[in-house]
Structure 1
Amino acid sequence: MKKVVVGLSGGVDSSVTAHLLKEQGYEVIGLFMKNWHDDSVTISDECPWLDDSNDAMMVADKLGIPFQTVDLSEEYKERIVDYMFNEYEKGRTPNPDVLCNREIKFDVFMKIALSLGADYVATGHYCRKAEFEKDGKTVYRLLSGKDNNKDQSYFLCQLTQEQLSKTLFPIGELQKSEVREIAAAQDLVTADKKDSQGLCFIGKVRLPDFLQQKLKPKEGVIVEVPATTDVFQKEDKNFNSRIEELEYLSSKYQYSMKDGKVVGKHQGAHYFTKGQRKGLAVGGTPAPLFVIDTDVEENVIYTGQGKDHPGIYRKALFVSPEETHWVRQDLAITDGEELKVQARIRYRQPLQDAVLYQTEHGMYIVFDKPQASITEGQFVAWYHEDELLGSGVIS
């Protein structure tokens, strides 16, 4: 009997994961990760991790499996929270869920599970795993979940072959409705529990409030840049090389105060991200304002009217060599090579046709159609059909 440690989060997905594995004959242990107890950043009187931990314990009790809690709050603060503050301070927008999977669930947590004698770690992610032999070695494939509305492969885009080899995703073949039905049939306390919306395993924390407790407010101005400004007038260029063209396509617009007019004030450019519409508190424009760029050095937010504003769109992006990650290392391209893929720059975005161009300086990804709000610090993930091949941090 193989031993599996399930990351029981107190939600319905991980509860059903544990039940299915038990049905399949595994020896199952439930482990709850406590990732947060910094009282200096409390958002409300609620203590979501306590409720979640109780729910996880009741599920384990119902299933008749051993259960314990591990406190990973120190590692979480060091690897996720500090990194997040650092990135926001630089004017980048990190993705804590991708990082939490890479740094906590499939690293720190996985090591604890394996030290308990586990053969595998299982999570309630909506994705699938497949494997095949190549040159005498097992190659693992990370596939999207069968439920298109819930596919979470994007959040696992930084996993390695080593991590995949020890991971199970039992609900990847199921629809969310089926998962709830199974939970109800087993009379699990989490059957009707709402999906959590907060930061990965922290719970009901609102990001702006969270950031404000560490990054001090600093008043600055909001500038509206008209769509007709010279910045957006692209002249026909003759490029001396493909690389020059790729650099041009992936470069962002450079704004200055003289490109528009001041329309309001804000409390800190580092609280805002590209594409953001809420929280600007500027009224009276025919179409809503969207953030098209933030300048944390000068503490200025640049905005444009309407979701079709040219400042929102870009055709290409760049990933530096140290930020490029291949799940399928055997398919990695080398300097001068290109690869047709589908890619997404955020969770739940439909896959977009694109081409990867590998150069000695890093990788360019050129999309067939211009993409809205390409944001530094976020992850781009590339796929072939339903297999996630690799990912990188947008620079």
Structure 2
Amino acid sequence: MKRVIVGLSGGVDSSVAAYLLKEQGYEVIGLFMKNWHDDSVTISDECPWLEDSNDAMLVADKLGIPFQTVDLSEQYKERIVDYMFDEYEKGRTPNPDVLCNREIKFDVFMDIALELGADYVATGHYCRKSTIEKDGEEVHQLLAGVDGNKDQSYFLCQLSQQQLAKALFPIGELLKPEVREIAKAQDLITAEKKDSQGLCFIGKVRLPDFLQQQLKPKEGQIVEIDANFERYNQVPPTFSTKEEELAYGSKKPKYKVADGKVVGKHQGAHYFTKGQRKGLGVGGTVEPLFVIDTDVNENVIYTGQGKKHPGLYRNVLFVSNEELHWVRTDLALNDGETMDVLSRIRYRQNLDKATLHKVASGLYVEFETRQSAITEGQFVAWYLGEELVGSGVIS
């Protein structure tokens, strides 16, 4: 019997994952991860890790599998929380969920599982794994979940072949309603439990309140840029190479306060992200204001009216070599090569046609249609059909 350690989170997805593995004849052990938790910023009732660990324990009990809790707060604080503060301070917008999978669940947690003699680690993610043979080697594929509405392959876009080799995703072939039905039929306490939203350690706290612990408030100006700003209507220069054209297309406009009008004040540019509409506190405009750029050095937020504002849109982005990752290392491009893919720049976004262009310094992703709010620090992921083959941090 192969031994599988399931990350039991106290939710319905991981509960059903554990049940299915047991049905398939694996020796299953449930492990609950206690992540970093700060009572000073979390409304504790809204981030009930104790309740979650209790639910996980009751599920393990019901399924008749061993259960224990591991405290990963220290590693979590170091690898996720500190990284988040650092990124926001630089004016980038990190994606903690992607990092949590790469750094915690499939690294620190996986190491603990392997020490406990596990052959595999399983989670309740809506995605699938397949293994093919290529040139005599085993190659693991990360595939989208069957439930298009819940597909979570994007959150696993930074996994390596070594991590995938040891991973199992038992619910990837199921739809969410089917998962709930199985939980109900097995009388699991989590059957009707609401899905948790986002990172538990932040709970229901507004992100600025959380960030204010380390990034001090600093009053600055909110500037509105008109949709007819001259830079938007500039005729592009003539390019001698495709790379020059891509470099031009990936550059965002540089704004100065004089380019628009001051419409309000904010408490810190690093609390805001591109495409954000809420929290600006500026009224009296025909259409709502959206953040089109932030300047953390000058502490200015640039905004535009309406979600169609030209300042929100570009069709090219760049990933530097240091932040480029191939799940399928055998498909990695060499300098000068291109690849037609489907790509997304955020979770829950539909996949769009794009072309990858590998250059000496990194990789350009050129979309067929213009993308709204391409945000530095977020992850872009690309697919061949339903297989996620690579990703990178948007520079």
Where on the TM-score scale, by shorter chain, does this alignment land: which range? over 0.9
Once the two structures are superposed, the pairs formed by residues 22-171 of structure 1 within 5 Å of their partners are 22-44=22-44, 46-171=46-171
User: What CA distance in whole angstroms lies between the structure 2 residues aligned with 1:372 and 1:94?
Assistant: 17
User: What CA distance in whole angstroms lies between the structure 2 residues aligned with 1:207 and 1:26?
Assistant: 41
Which letter maps to 2:259?
A: D
Report Cα offsets for 1:345-382 as digits up to 9, x if no partner. Answer: 00010001000000001100000011000000000000
**Pair 1:283-2:283 in alignment:** yes
Range with bigger deviation, 264-273 or 225-234: 225-234
CA RMSD of aligned residues (A): 1.1
**Pair 1:394-2:394 in alignment:** yes
Structure 1 residue runs of 5 or longer lacking an equivalent are none
| CA shift for structure 1 position 47 | 4.8
User: What CA distance in whole angstroms lies between the structure 2 residues aligned with 1:45 and 1:309?
Assistant: 39
| Secondary structure at the counterpart of residue 333 of structure 2 | coil
TM-score by length of 1: 0.98
Q: State whether residues 43 and 206 of structure 1, in contact with CA within 8 Å, keep that contact through their aligned partners in structure 2.
A: no
| CA shift for structure 1 position 122 | 0.2
User: What CA distance in whole angstroms lies between the structure 2 residues aligned with 1:55 and 1:18?
Assistant: 13
| Secondary structure at the counterpart of residue 232 of structure 1 | helix
Report Cα offsets for 1:160-195 as digits up to 9, x if no partner. Answer: 000000010000000000000000000000000000
Once the two structures are superposed, the pairs formed by residues 359-374 of structure 1 within 5 Å of their partners are 359-374=359-374
User: What CA distance in whole angstroms lies between the structure 1 residues aligned with 2:41 and 2:306?
Assistant: 35
User: What CA distance in whole angstroms lies between the structure 2 residues aligned with 1:194 and 1:165?
Assistant: 31
| CA shift for structure 1 position 203 | 4.2
Report Cα offsets for 1:77-132 as digits up to 9, x if no partner. Answer: 00000000000001000000000000000000000000000000000000000011
Once the two structures are superposed, the pairs formed by residues 288-327 of structure 1 within 5 Å of their partners are 288-327=288-327
User: What CA distance in whole angstroms lies between the structure 2 residues aligned with 1:283 and 1:393?
Assistant: 34
User: What CA distance in whole angstroms lies between the structure 2 residues aligned with 1:214 and 1:189?
Assistant: 38
Q: State whether residues 37 and 201 of structure 2, in contact with CA within 8 Å, keep that contact through their aligned partners in structure 1.
A: no
Q: Which residue of 2 aligns with 1:344?
A: 344
What is the number of equivalent residue pairs in this alignment? Answer: 395
Q: Which residue of 1 aligns with 2:16?
A: 16
Once the two structures are superposed, the pairs formed by residues 255-266 of structure 1 within 5 Å of their partners are 255-266=255-266
| Secondary structure at the counterpart of residue 43 of structure 2 | coil
Q: Label 1:200 to 1:380 Cα distance change in 2 as closer, same or farther (>3 A).
A: farther
| Secondary structure at the counterpart of residue 41 of structure 1 | coil
Which letter maps to 1:97?
A: D
Structure 2 residue runs of 5 or longer lacking an equivalent are none
User: What CA distance in whole angstroms lies between the structure 2 residues aligned with 1:257 and 1:351?
Assistant: 35
| CA shift for structure 1 position 220 | 0.5
Q: State whether residues 8 and 30 of structure 1, in contact with CA within 8 Å, keep that contact through their aligned partners in structure 2.
A: yes
Which letter maps to 2:140?
A: Y
User: What CA distance in whole angstroms lies between the structure 1 residues aligned with 2:356 and 2:289?
Assistant: 32
Report Cα offsets for 1:47-98 as digits up to 9, x if no partner. Answer: 5111100000000010000000000000000000000000000100000000
User: What CA distance in whole angstroms lies between the structure 2 residues aligned with 1:271 and 1:64?
Assistant: 46
| CA shift for structure 1 position 333 | 0.6
Once the two structures are superposed, the pairs formed by residues 242-253 of structure 1 within 5 Å of their partners are 242-253=242-253
User: What CA distance in whole angstroms lies between the structure 2 residues aligned with 1:135 and 1:99?
Assistant: 31
Q: Which residue of 2 aligns with 1:353?
A: 353
Q: Which residue of 1 aligns with 2:216?
A: 216
